[in-house]
Amino acid sequence: MTNEQWEKLLAVIDGEVFDPLPVGFIIDSPWLPDWAGISTLDYYSSDTKWLDANLKAIQTFPDVMFLPGFWSEFGMCTEPSAFGTKCRWAERELPYADKIIAAVSDIAGIETPNPKTDGLLPFVIRRLELHQSRIQEAGHQIRFAVARGPLNIATFLMGTTEFLMALRTDPEPIEKLLTLITDFTVDWLAYQKACFPSIEGVFILDDIVGFLGEADFQATALPYLKRAFGCLDVPVRFFHNDAQGLVCAGFLQEMGVNFFNFSFEHSLAEMRERAGDTVTLLGNIPPRDVLAQGTPEEVTASVKAALEPLDDTRRIILSCGGGMPPEVPTANIEALLRSA
């Protein structure tokens, strides 16, 4: 993000209203490689092509806040790789991390990774170090420490169904697993901040909280997310959950979250009521059916429909309800900017 965009984000979080409303998108490997004309595998394996794709995005859409901005990542393999998962790669598909916990008893053998040395994490850092000067020459800074959330990582290590079942059948081993993963997450976020002092935000992604009822969320997600968001003294604490978002909405302030991206299935008005007026909302255009597959006219209509019910547009940044999906065309992003 540029200094101007960062200052605008801080101002929005503080409650300042902008006209037009700011527009921001979470962009990473599901959208960026194909839009930039390269394969997904090239995006991961070539630092130069990764940099060029990100530069193309900020040059094509200079008025958009891209979040977290120059995201150095290897898809869903990023954090699980540090635990020793086998990562499967394809030319034009997202990578997949094989689970390593076949039975609950295997949790006892899981060790806390070292983010400085383990898995793909050193490559995440080195990519940013190699290109930091180019990023800065483009007027941008590295602003966010990024991690998948503890429940998200746990499901890659264990399997989603197996993890959710074990929440009820084996709560003590699951507590051990989530504590260990959170220890790792805190270390990983702190290491990113130590490498890049320009970081002033934490960005955590965890859709698995949307699969929980309120009681399970309070017991098995809230304390771990609260610890992760509180590990750095930064002004922006950004949470992405584009599964069922209402279960966590009322607890965002307790978690320390002040910036929230959620599912398009919840309207901005509904989420404002649930989350309160102190959390900045990022949304809420349907990502696939409208932004990717719709016409520019449908994008415009969707923006109008999202904003009309709101009496107050404080702490709103227009976006899609989730990360930028595959195959979103330039024309539809331009339509959203015009609508704003």
Q: Cα(102)–Cα(168) distance, rounded to whole angstroms?
A: 17
Closest C-alpha among 79, 69, 84, 66 to residue 24: 66
Confidence of residue 35 (pLDDT cuts 50, 70, 90): very high
pLDDT digits (tens, 9 = 90+) for 306-339: 999 999 999 999 999 999 999 999 999 999 999 9
Which pLDDT belongs to residue 37? 98
Measured CA distances, 113 to 43, 83, 129, 149, 183 (Å):
25, 6, 21, 15, 9
Helix (H) or strand (E) holding 144: strand 144-148
Which pLDDT belongs to residue 161? 97
Q: What is the DSSP letter of 51?
A: H
pLDDT digits (tens, 9 = 90+) for 136-164: 999 999 999 999 999 999 999 999 999 99
Which pLDDT belongs to residue 48? 97
Q: Cα(14)–Cα(185) distance, rounded to whole angstroms?
A: 27
pTM of the model: 0.97
Which pLDDT belongs to residue 26? 98
Which pLDDT belongs to residue 213? 94
- Helices 121-137 & 47-60, crossing angle to 10 degrees? 40
Which pLDDT belongs to residue 182? 98
Percent residues over pLDDT 70 in the chain: 100
Quote the Cα angle for 114-118-123, to 5°: 120
CB 30 within 8 A of CB 92: no
Confidence of residue 70 (pLDDT cuts 50, 70, 90): very high
Percent residues over pLDDT 90 in the chain: 99
Listed by start position, the domains of the chain span: 3-339
DSSP 234-286: -SEEEEEE-S--HHHHTTHHHHT--EEEE-TTS-HHHHHHHH-TTSEEEEEE-
Which pLDDT belongs to residue 126? 98
Q: What is the Cα 173 distance to its own chain's centre?
A: 27
Mean pLDDT of 16-37: 97
- Which residues contact residue 249 at a Cβ distance below 8 angstroms, ignoring those fewer than 6 apart? 260, 262, 266, 271, 274, 275
Q: Cα(285)–Cα(235) distance, rounded to whole angstroms?
A: 26
Measured CA distances, 129 to 5, 123, 142, 177 (Å):
22, 10, 10, 31
Tokens of 191: 């290491």
Q: Cα(65)–Cα(161) distance, rounded to whole angstroms?
A: 35
Per the prediction, the chain carries an average pLDDT of 97
Q: Cα(70)–Cα(145) distance, rounded to whole angstroms?
A: 11
Which pLDDT belongs to residue 33? 98
Which pLDDT belongs to residue 190? 98
Q: Phi/psi at 112 (nearest 5 deg)? A: -70, 125
Mean pLDDT of 109-119: 97
- In the chain, where does DSSP find H-type helix? 3-13, 32-36, 40-45, 47-60, 78-82, 121-137, 150-158, 160-169, 171-195, 214-220, 222-229, 246-249, 252-255, 268-275, 296-307, 330-339
Confidence of residue 279 (pLDDT cuts 50, 70, 90): very high
Class of domain 3-339: alpha beta
Q: Which amino acid is at 256?
A: G
